[in-house]
Amino acid sequence: MAAPIQNPTKCEVCSVIRFLLAKGQRPADIHKEIVSVYGNIMNRQNATKWCRHFSEGRTDVHDKQKTDRPSVISDALLQRTEEVIHANRRLKLKELHQIIPKVSMTTLYEVVTVKLGYMKLCAPWVPKMLTEEHKKKRMGFALDFLTRYAEAGDDFLDHIVTGDETWVYQHTPESKQQSMQWRHSNSLKAKKSKTSISAGKNMASVFWDRRGILLLEFMPPGMTINTVAYCQTLKNSPAIQPGPCAQRLPFIPLPEVASWWKIIPRR
C-alpha cells in the first residue's frame, strides 16, 4: 500500500516530529505516525535523534549546512606546481609528489588536471624535424620540379632517380595485420605464435626511378653506408647512369656521372 503522501521534504517530516513531540508522544509512537503517512521516509533511529534535538531546545527543522574542510589548494600551490611543470613537462605525478611532498597525490592530480587544465599528451611522430632553412630549400626544390615538369611534361619524370638505405633483416615476422583472415563471427579463432625480428641484418642501398628499382646493393656485414660507399656504388653500377651511356661504357668516371644529374640534397 502506497503512503498517503509521497516524496515529502525532510523539513516537513521534521516539523511533524516536533509537533507530535510537543503533544507529548513518545519517539517510538512518532515514528509509527511518520511511517503511516509518509512511508519509510525515515528510520526509527533518525526519528529518535530528531526528538532528542527538539527536546534539547532546537527549533530549526532544517539540516545545518556542513562546513567542509578548508581547501589545501592555495594560490601558492598552484603557482609552485605551474613552475615545476614548466621546468619539466615530462614529469610524472609521482615525481611531482616528491618535489611537493606536503600535498597528497590525489590533490596534486586535481591541481594539475582541473585547476591548471593540463593533460599529458604524446608527441606525434614526424619523418623529419626541419629547420626554417630546410623548409625553404624543400620549397625551392618543389618549385623547381613543378617548373621543369611544366616545361618537359612526363619526360621530366624519366630523369628522376632517387635512393635510400635500409636495414634488411634475415627474418622479418609477419605482422598480426598481415595474418588477418576473413572468418565468420562463430568461427574458431586462429592462434599465432609471437615471433621477433632476427638479430642478423645487412645494410642495403636502393636506387629507383619511376619504372622501378635500378639497383639493390647489400653491404658486407658490419659495414654501413657512408660517402665512400656511395661513391663506390656510383663507380661500379652503370645501372644508375644514363641509359645510352650505360650500354656503351662499362665504367664511367664519377665526375662525368655527376655532370649528368642535378643533385638534390636529402634535406
For residue 154, what is its C-alpha cell? 612526363
CA dihedral over 33, 37, 39, 40, signed as positive or negative: negative
Which is nearest to 234 in space by CA: 210, 214, 254?
254
Contact 244, 262 (CB under 8 A): no
Strands (E), 98-225: 162-169, 201-209, 212-218
Could you read off the pLDDT tens digit of each residue along the chain, which spans 267 residues? Answer: 567 888 888 889 999 999 999 999 999 999 999 999 888 888 899 899 999 999 988 888 887 655 555 678 899 999 999 999 999 999 999 999 999 999 999 999 999 999 999 988 888 877 778 889 989 988 998 999 899 999 988 888 888 888 888 888 887 777 777 777 777 777 787 777 777 777 788 888 888 888 888 888 888 877 777 778 777 777 766 655 554 434 433 444 445 555 556 666 655
Q: Is residue 185 within 8 Å of 227, Cβ to Cβ? A: no
